[in-house]
Structure 1
Amino acid sequence: MIPYPNSSMRRRRGFTLVELLVVIAIIGVLIGLLLPAVQQAREAARRMQCSNNLKQLALAAHNYESTYKVFPYPAKDSNYGYSAQSKILPFIEQGNFQDQIDFSQPLMIGASYLKTLNPIYNNLVGTKIDVLICPSDPGDPLYEDGGVTWAGGNYMMNAGPGVGTQYCSTSDTGGLFWRGSVIGFRDITDGTSNTILMAETLFGNRTNSTDLLDAQTQLRSTSGGGSPCSTSAADLDVRSVASYDGRRAGQWMRNLTYQSFINGYFPPNSSSPDILYHGDAVMGARSQHPGGAMVSFADGSVRLVSETVDLATWRNLFARNDGNVVGEF
């Protein structure tokens, strides 16, 4: 005769609700502890890639200077409009791309106040170049203008300290680049390790607005009159705002200030939005890296400069021959 199993033998062992909730809570705590570490690791990888991009671009500028005895120069005539970035393509393994650019032809055509893209480039200007894009920037590198889609880039050429009217790209900015600049290593008398070559910034938010949505991704258009290059950056900085513009860093092939140049008027990641004025701009270094922005120096070195850097020192780093002693940064 088979004995009838008692109740303890019939009982199946399982999790109680309390035990299950405890396990879920422990898993949640572990995820909470692990997620920031994963995010930090990912940002470290993105920052390393951003640094590597700037290093490649600095070496490309060096190779260009070695070949032509000057750094890549932006077009002087705004009708042509080619940026310095477009001149170094063969030195970043983009020679096939540059073969499609005819620098004897204007990039932009039409009246000065209403320029349009030369139609021979309609299918070219929207090409994204990976080495020109920082992976930490979540913004959109593409920008639509007049029915044409352009591709932007995060890395801008040093257009001087930006004080006074040095933000104006039609004359010597005190930096290494302006429209028609012809600068070589011989002209950097402050020292290549004390002079910025390029710095990163952020893509615009691609919207026009009367409201400030994000100081890091918008340009402000100021109210008040004045002709181009007639008003100092300090005066523009205190003017009231007429509107906000999201075009910044949207056309890497074009030599407009807010598309390919950067200056030192604002410290990195400034809480003040950059300033648009008659096609020129007071453009600051901006990034998604915690605490600062990446820059490459004329000697080829790359580093993150803190957003708390002394402003006078920061501006000195954008000057090639002001003779000022650069402090710690």
Structure 2
Amino acid sequence: MTLAVALDLLADDLAQLEGLLARVCDVEYRVLGGLLEHILSTRGKRVRPLVVLAAGRLFAYRPTTLLPAAAAIELLHTATLVHDDLIDHATARRGRPTLNTLTSGGATVLVGDYLFAQAAAFATATGSIRVVRVCSDVLQTICEGELRQIFSSGDWDQSIADYEAQIAGKTASLFAAAAEIGAILTAAPRSARRRLRAYGHELGMAFQIIDDIFDFTATEEELGKPVGSDLRQGTLTLPALYALRELPAENAITAYLQSSDGTREDLLAEAIQTVRDSPAIARAEQQARQRAACAKRLVAGLPAGPACELLATLAEHAVARRA
């Protein structure tokens, strides 16, 4: 199944999802409504709600609860991006200005908080206390993952396990939650719920590793933000960590991380090129492919049919996509 066919399978659900998200912007205070429209119209790939909707078709299909759940997951994700951009002082996302460049830091925080509250409302609308609990748990896990990343900034001695703990928390946990919520709402047996949660984790790990590779290999136009944004923040992702293990103690990456503001741009370009020229990119790609293959093996044990094929397709897309 191609991704286009997969999306066509869920076209009606996705259209209804967009309707639910549009309703979030329908608020009395027009300033807030405008800020929400800016955020929610900067559309991503909707991969996480796709996982909810696909997992939710494996057994008993209940769109009246699945759609609010998918909206909750997308709003959780969007809220974390709003806060991330403020923390990172990012100026662009998906080719558009970030919210923190359009308004104050305080207002940006509050808009992110508002989105979290809306996510909670949608989770509650499913009528499942278990779904609400999964959403609560995953938000805590995301915060821990982000804090791990913040406090490891500039630490080139961190291990691959440290990196994996960061992305498991900040990214893979939400994919795992999306798959688990779909399983809960489709009345999947316990074994299938565990399998789907593990699938979501592996999918999310693959997805984040590929994103981290793109930060070195894609163009600014493709990324919709400056190349090397992670290194600019002192964040060492898998390609950089792999490269550091092949380089002498004094190298372009550590030189950049230790540099003064006056020389950072030249050193950043050199550090990026150093990673590009090393075997690190290929090693990171291999790691992402292994994660995606594991995700596919996990769904192979689920009931055969279009929903199962769609989940496998999402795993393939995670590593085959372009920035």
TM over 0.5: no
Could you state the TM-score of these two structures normalised by the residue count of structure 1?
A: 0.24
Structure of greater Rg: 1
Higher helix share: 2
Higher strand share: 1
* TM-score calculated relative to the size of structure 2: 0.24
